[in-house]
Amino acid sequence: MSILLQATGLNKRFQSIDALDDVSLTVSRREILAVVGESGSGKSTLLATLAGLQTADSGRITYYGGDRPRDIGDMDEMQLRRLQRTQWGFIHQNARAALRLDVSAGGNIGERLMMNGARNYGDIRETAARWLDEVEIGRERIDEMPLNFSGGMLQRLQIAATLVTSPELVFMDEPTTGLDVSVQARVLDLIRNLVHKLDVATIIVTHDLGVARLLADRTVVMQGGAIVEHGLTDQVLDDPQHPYTQLLVSSVLPS
């Protein structure tokens, strides 16, 4: 598989803390990459930096999608926002912060379509209805406000509103944290099925090694802002080499 995103030598400090310490990684097309580690390991900072939501102090991020390679650091705000709403997607841990709660379920999906050039109301509404079915909400709720939805339904709506335009790369930040265990399982199955169906490259941050095992082709393990181990997910989780990974796998460290 060809490389879609490459990060080289990323560094970022918050006061005296190394949030990112010389981090380098690649993500290939159609690959699911998990980033795992305990709280404070730097995994969420890495995701936000790769997605262009934060800026590294040094290092380089190159995106090979679209018509030509692009250095994320060289983009102005308008170019970056266009990339984020067309070829990229971001699924947040808190769906309430990502969705417009004063806009209908169909309207939240339709907004993303309109950002990508859709203008025919009938086509937008039909696509939104089809995606509500796809994420197991049901098209009959297309005009309902998200305020009436449960946490699991809000997360599924956010997934629909993100994937409706088939982005090349999706960033996911702890997408099932805070949901009931049974709801987590349904959302994870939905994510797995959709990203494979759409051939979407995905970077997912999680503290749950079970999520990494279920979804990811490869896994990187972070500690203190640095990547301490990486490899095929089964290899990393079944035969961890770094002492920190061994502790994570044996559940000694808190999540």
User: How is 50-73 classified by DSSP, letter by letter?
Assistant: HTTSS--SEEEEEE--TTS-EEGG
| Residue that finishes a domain, picked among 115, 138, 166 | 166
The verdict on 202 and 133 lying in the same domain is no
234: amino acid identity, one letter: D
pLDDT digits (tens, 9 = 90+) for 146-203: 999 999 999 999 999 999 999 999 999 999 988 888 899 999 999 999 999 999 999 9
Tell whether 73 is covered by a domain: yes
Q: Taking Cα atoms as reference points, which of 214, 166, 177 lies closest to residue 92? A: 177
The pLDDT value recorded for residue 177 is 87
The verdict on 106 and 135 lying in the same domain is yes
The pLDDT value recorded for residue 255 is 47
Q: Say if strands 218-223 and 201-206 run parallel, antiparallel, or are unpaired.
A: unpaired
Quick one: how far is CA 52 from the chain centroid? Answer: 13
- Full-model pTM: 0.94
Q: Per residue of the chain (255 residues), give pLDDT as tens.
A: 699 999 999 999 998 889 999 999 999 999 999 999 999 999 999 999 999 999 999 999 999 998 889 999 999 999 999 999 999 999 999 999 899 999 999 999 999 999 999 999 999 999 999 999 999 999 999 999 999 999 999 999 999 999 999 999 999 999 998 888 889 999 999 999 999 999 999 999 999 999 999 999 999 999 999 999 999 999 999 999 999 999 999 975 544
Q: Which two tokens stand for residue 117?
A: 């050039």
Q: Measured between alpha carbons, how far is 164 from 166 in angstroms, rounded to an integer?
A: 6
The pLDDT value recorded for residue 127 is 97
Q: What is the CATH classification number for the domain harbouring 7?
A: 3.40.50.300
The verdict on 240 and 123 lying in the same domain is no
Q: Which residue is listed with tokens 């970077």?
A: 203
Dihedral sign, Cα of residue 69, residue 171, residue 252, residue 255: positive
| Residue that finishes a domain, picked among 166, 183, 209 | 166
Three-class secondary structure of residue 174 per DSSP: coil
Three-class secondary structure of residue 54 per DSSP: coil
The verdict on 30 and 134 lying in the same domain is no
HSE at residue 145, side-chain half, CA atoms within 13 A, is 6
Indicate the helix (H) or strand (E) that contains 3: strand 3-14
Q: Measured between alpha carbons, how far is 56 from 167 in angstroms, rounded to an integer?
A: 24
| Residue that finishes a domain, picked among 125, 149, 166 | 166
